[in-house]
Amino acid sequence: MLDQDAAIPLRADLEQHLRECEHCEITLSTTRKTIQIYRSHELYELPDDLRERLHKAILAKCRKC
């Protein structure tokens, strides 16, 4: 359901179950939110000054190859 991977008949069965089962509906919706939250938060940003420093170091090492 989360990855739009389920075949149509299975998907229909799952959707029916979700209408009737609060436990599964909550599990699905909170799992979906989990993914969405991690997708939308940049936990390890690469600051510009570090980015330039890394580039210089990488290219300097590559030129020595």
Partner 1 sequence: MAAYEKLVRQYDRQVFRIANHIVQNREDAEDVVQDAFLKAYEKLNQFQGNSKFYTWLVRIAVNEALMRLRKRRTGRMVSIDEDVETDEGSMPRDLADWSPDPEALYGQSEMADILRKTIQGLPPGFRVVFVLRDVEGLSTEETAESLGLSIPAVKSRLLRARLQLRERLSRYFKRRDLKQAQDGAK
Contact flag: residue 29 with partner 1 (CB under 8 A):
yes
Question: Could you tell me the two tokens for 39?
Answer: 């997708």
Contact flag: residue 19 with partner 1 (CB under 8 A):
no
- The residue (of 8 and 43) whose beta carbon lies closer to partner 1 is 43
- Contact call for residues 17 and 9 (beta carbons, < 8 A): no
Which residues, in sequence order, are CB contacts of 35 under 8 Å at separation 6+?
A: 2
Block residue for tokens 């000054």: 49
Contact flag: residue 50 with partner 1 (CB under 8 A):
yes
Nearest approach in angstroms of CB 8 to partner 1 is 19
- CA 23 centroid distance within chain: 23
Contact footprint for partner 1 (CB under 8 A): 2, 23, 26-27, 29-31, 33-35, 37-39, 41, 43-44, 46, 50-51, 54-55, 57-59, 61-63, 65
